[in-house]
């Protein structure tokens, strides 16, 4: 983002906060928005030729729905079993369901379950999952990729797009059509307990480029993408699952640091933006979490950034949104703030009744409700769900973990490995006897042997590779405990471990302990592949963008 653009946005935000009490409602009339013609009031494929856009029929469909059906479209709850999911569809008319590991079986059985759920719904369901890859992965059988920070280290949006497109294609093969990814937070706080490796990095320009690539990849696969967590969760030391973080960014800092990836996602046509359960006092002085802030959602996201798609809350089970208002009031306030989709209410019956009562009492107007339902149905139309939301159970297994998909994962993992120190040309290791210590040492040792590296006991080795996985300052003491032989530190988690690796002769970051990343690290350590990654965050005393390679 150019400095002048950041300044203009910051000025607008400052004005918004100053006049927060006057925020208007969030209709379809912002940048890029268009109110559908009511003439197209039929269903897809209606005769007459009067519709001017594929979704022009949607307002007519919304007008025919009952208030109870409309309220149901806002909710995306958990479900414990197929029977539980079917019950929620029948009783509460839910707009979608979110899958967790317990909802998956084999690919074929998962696809059949998704089909059964869709068949029970009058309006196609958004069947979603929180599948970011890396450390946030809910789908047990898909091709495994390293997470966003590893992708940030590749600095190649084509890698982000390819990883997202493979993930999206495999999700769609089992009937899932919504992924709550990618993470658009700019992680500038090394102590951040909830984002970290989920972020593409600490550089807003890099994060913007990679977010745009990922959004394009998911949506090219027919899966709705979600940019999260607005207005930006990257500078906190509090986990919003267990508390309410406060981020003290000024409007100017927010516009320069946090906003660009969301602007990039919006420009890329992202289907959903997810809210953050955080307080940003300089953006909204009420003290409410952003999920419940009309100033942030309607005024800032819709009004200033011009976003006209679906706004989803983060999970309503999290402490950051529950502790101030409770489980009945929070969803009502979220809708009032501008949210369209209410994710994972801890008590669906209570939340549903509360929103329904708010509409019937006029606290939430039916016009406001119709805006959300219209956006949700437009999203379902855009992803082709009204045409065909089904999966083919007979083909599901063959579509997952293909040789081509695994090749993409290997390529991404190899592109990510970042070398930040190589004293006296210690690396590559081929020709040396190597001991391996630390987390996943057995897997790395086996991977090194496959690359022709001789492994040995610590006493007889020439060099020791010490793996770390979010060890922090303990890294330094672990290096000292290995004695006087040269040590190579390889960070399999957050690269910030390298900040405590001054005593190591060589230092690398793989950003992931997944099998594909361990194999990629072994290839770089052995010299079978050259390190080409660049730091997406400052680490090991080196700035963003730093990375060494072999001659």
Catalytic sites, residue numbers:
314
> pLDDT (tens digit, 9 = 90+) per residue, 222-245?
999 999 999 999 999 888 888 889
Is 226 inside a domain boundary?
Answer: yes
Domain containing 507 — which CATH number? 3.40.50.1700
Task: Say how far apart CA 301 and CA 257 lie, in whole Å.
Answer: 15
Which of 113, 126, 125, 106 is closest to 84 using CA atoms? 113
Q: Where are the beta strands (DSSP E) in 210-350?
A: 226-230, 272-275, 310-312, 342-343
Say whether both 379 and 479 belong to one domain.
Answer: no
Say whether both 148 and 7 belong to one domain.
Answer: yes
Say whether both 94 and 198 belong to one domain.
Answer: yes
Strand order in the sheet with 310-312: 226-230, 272-275, 310-312
Say whether both 107 and 195 belong to one domain.
Answer: yes
**For the chain, give me the number of helices (H) and strands (E)?**
20, 14
H or E element that contains 488? strand 487-491
Please give the residue range of the domain that contains residue 364.
Answer: 3-29+70-399
Say whether both 300 and 377 belong to one domain.
Answer: yes
Indicate the number of domains in the chain.
2
Task: Say how far apart CA 431 and CA 444 lie, in whole Å.
Answer: 17
Say whether both 508 and 363 belong to one domain.
Answer: no
Domain boundary among 364, 399, 434: 399
* Residue keyed to tokens 């489980």: 327
Say whether both 102 and 17 belong to one domain.
Answer: yes
Task: Say how far apart CA 369 and CA 374 lie, in whole Å.
Answer: 9
Say whether both 304 and 440 belong to one domain.
Answer: no
Check residue 324 and give its pLDDT.
Answer: 87
pTM > 0.85: yes or no: yes
Give the tokens for residue 157: 């949006």
Say whether both 439 and 350 belong to one domain.
Answer: no
Is 121 inside a domain boundary?
Answer: yes
Chain centre to alpha carbon of residue 221: 16
> pLDDT (tens digit, 9 = 90+) per residue, 96-105?
999 999 999 9
Domain containing 210 — which CATH number? 3.20.20.300
- CB 504, CB 487: distance < 8 Å: yes
The torsion of the CA quartet 415, 421, 423, 429, rounded to 10 degrees, works out to -30
Is 539 inside a domain boundary?
Answer: no
Q: Is the pLDDT of residue 209 over 90?
A: yes
Average pLDDT over residues 83-99: 98
Say whether both 20 and 113 belong to one domain.
Answer: yes
Say whether both 123 and 195 belong to one domain.
Answer: yes
Is 343 inside a domain boundary?
Answer: yes
Q: Of all residues in the chain, what percent carry a pLDDT higher than 90? A: 87
CA angle 148, 438, 474 (to 5 degrees): 80
- CB 164, CB 183: distance < 8 Å: no
* Residue keyed to tokens 């919003």: 240
Give the tokens for residue 48: 């007459």
Task: Say how far apart CA 59 and CA 47 lie, in whole Å.
Answer: 17
> pLDDT (tens digit, 9 = 90+) per residue, 290-330?
999 999 999 999 999 999 999 999 999 999 899 889 999 99
The torsion of the CA quartet 12, 18, 19, 20, rounded to 10 degrees, works out to 100
Say whether both 152 and 224 belong to one domain.
Answer: yes
């Amino acid at each position: 983002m150019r400095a002048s653009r950041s300044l203009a946005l910051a000025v607008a935000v400052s004005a918004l906060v100053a006049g927060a009490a006057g925020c208007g409602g969030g209709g379809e009339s912002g940048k890029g928005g268009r109110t559908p013609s009511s003439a197209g009031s039929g269903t897809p494929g209606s005769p007459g030729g009067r519709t001017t856009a594929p979704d022009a029929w949607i307002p007519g469909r919304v007008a025919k729905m009952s208030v109870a059906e409309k309220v149901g479209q806002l909710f995306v709850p958990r479900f414990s079993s197929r029977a539980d999911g079917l019950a929620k569809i029948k009783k509460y008319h839910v707009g979608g369901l979110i899958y967790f590991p317990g909802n998956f079986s084999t690919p074929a059985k998962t696809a059949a379950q998704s089909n059964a759920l869709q068949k029970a719904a009058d309006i196609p369901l958004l069947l979603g999952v929180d599948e970011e890859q890396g450390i946030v992965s809910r789908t047990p059988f898909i091709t495994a990729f390293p997470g966003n920070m590893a992708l940030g280290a590749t600095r190649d949006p084509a890698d982000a797009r390819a990883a997202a497109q493979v993930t999206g294609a495999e999700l769609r093969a089992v009937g899932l059509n919504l992924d709550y990814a990618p993470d658009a937070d700019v992680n500038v706080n090394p102590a951040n307990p909830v984002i970290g490796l989920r972020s593409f990095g600490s550089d807003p320009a890099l994060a913007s480029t990679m977010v745009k690539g990922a959004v394009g990849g998911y949506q090219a696969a027919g899966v709705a993408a979600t940019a999260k967590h607005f207005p930006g969760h990257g500078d906190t030391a509090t986990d919003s699952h267990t508390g309410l973080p406060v981020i003290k960014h000024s409007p100017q800092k927010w516009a320069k640091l946090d906003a660009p990836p969301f602007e990039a996602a919006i420009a890329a046509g992202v289907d959903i933006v997810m809210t953050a359960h955080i307080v940003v006092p300089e953006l909204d002085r009420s003290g409410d979490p952003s999920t419940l802030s009309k100033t942030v959602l309607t005024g800032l996201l819709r009004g200033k950034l011009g976003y006209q798609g679906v706004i989803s809350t983060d999970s309503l089970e999290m402490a950051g949104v529950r502790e101030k208002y409770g489980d009945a009031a929070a969803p009502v306030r979220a809708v009032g703030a501008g949210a369209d989709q209410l994710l994972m209410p801890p008590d669906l019956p209570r939340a549903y009744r509360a929103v329904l009562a708010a509409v019937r009492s006029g606290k939430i107007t039916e016009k406001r409700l119709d805006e959300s339902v219209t956006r949700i149905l437009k999203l379902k139309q855009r992803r082709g769900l009204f045409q065909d939301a089904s999966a083919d159970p007979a083909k599901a297994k063959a579509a997952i973990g293909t040789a081509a998909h695994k090749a993409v994962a290997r390529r991404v993992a190899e592109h990510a490995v970042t070398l930040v120190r190589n004293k006296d040309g210690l690396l590559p290791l081929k020709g040396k006897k190597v001991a391996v210590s630390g987390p996943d040492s057995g897997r790395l040792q086996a991977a090194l042997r496959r690359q022709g590296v001789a492994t040995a006991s610590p006493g007889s080795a020439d060099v020791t590779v010490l793996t770390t996985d979010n060890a922090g300052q303990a890294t330094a003491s672990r290096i000292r405990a290995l004695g006087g032989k040269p040590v190579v530190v390889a960070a399999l988690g957050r690269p910030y471990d390298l900040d405590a690796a001054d005593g190591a002769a060589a230092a690398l970051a793989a950003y992931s302990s997944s099998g594909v990343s361990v194999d990629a690290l072994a290839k770089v350590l052995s010299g079978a592949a050259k390190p080409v990654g660049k730091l997406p965050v400052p680490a090991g005393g080196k700035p963003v963008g730093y990375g060494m390679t072999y001659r």
